[in-house]
Structure 1
Amino acid sequence: MGYIISLGVGFGIGLLYWLLKVQSPAPPLIALAGLLGMVLGEHAIPVVKAQLFAQTQTVQAADQTKDGVVQKPAASSATKEGG
């Protein structure tokens, strides 16, 4: 499956090069800009997931409030006290 995705993305990039009238292999600055975009895209997914997860927890915390008082969930495990 990974090969099919890679082929599809490569085909899309080839079309983009054709639209921009860029020769393949791309000049160094264009290639570096593409690599930077790949790295930023790779790191953007975990950031977006973390933001969505944080929003989900905020909504759940808001749902647990009753009459302005936060209802704390019961602890599922004992906590250790340092000494």
Structure 2
Amino acid sequence: MKLYALSLGAGLLVGVVYSLLQVRSPAPPLVALVGLLGILVGEQAIPVGKQLLRGTAFGAACQQTQATEHVLGQLPGRQAAPGQAAETKPGDPQA
């Protein structure tokens, strides 16, 4: 139940921001997509930020928290193996 209340609160906050920006909901497709990108990136800001505060390089922090995979999804040419991401080489047959 707590998750639903937090989700409703976040939705209300976004609604207030949309109102302040004078954007009607449902937002135009490009505005909505940029907003979704912001949500995905913002969701990864805390875990990556914690790694950066520990002295980890940005690229390594993104890799350790799997931020890139979360934001971009599975990139073309990659196949996810259970428990690890496997990279395919050009010319390898796709499964």
Task: Please indicate, yes or no, whether the TM-score normalized by the shorter chain is above 0.5.
Answer: yes
Instruction: Tell me the TM-score normalized by structure 1.
Output: 0.59
In the alignment, is residue 54 of structure 1 matched against residue 55 of structure 2?
yes
**Long gaps (5+) in structure 1:** 56-83
CA distance in 2, matches of 1:14, 1:46: 26
- Considering Cα pairs closer than 8 Å and 6+ residues apart, tell me whether 1 or 2 has the greater RCO: 2
CA distance in 2, matches of 1:31, 1:52: 32
Q: Paired residues, what number?
A: 55
Q: Which amino acid aligns with 1:10?
A: G
Q: Which structure has greater helix proportion?
A: 1
* 1:44 positional shift: 1.6
Decide which structure has the larger Cα Rg and report it: 1
Q: Provide the residue aligned with 2:31 in structure 1.
A: 30
Q: Provide the residue aligned with 2:22 in structure 1.
A: 21
- Cα-to-partner distance string for 1:20-53 (whole Å, 9 max, x where unaligned): 1111101011101111101111222221111222
Percent identity over paired residues: 55
> Which 4+ runs in 1 deviate beyond 4 A?
none
Q: Which amino acid aligns with 1:6?
A: S
Q: Provide the residue aligned with 1:78 in structure 2.
A: none
Cα RMSD of the aligned pairs, angstroms, is: 1.5
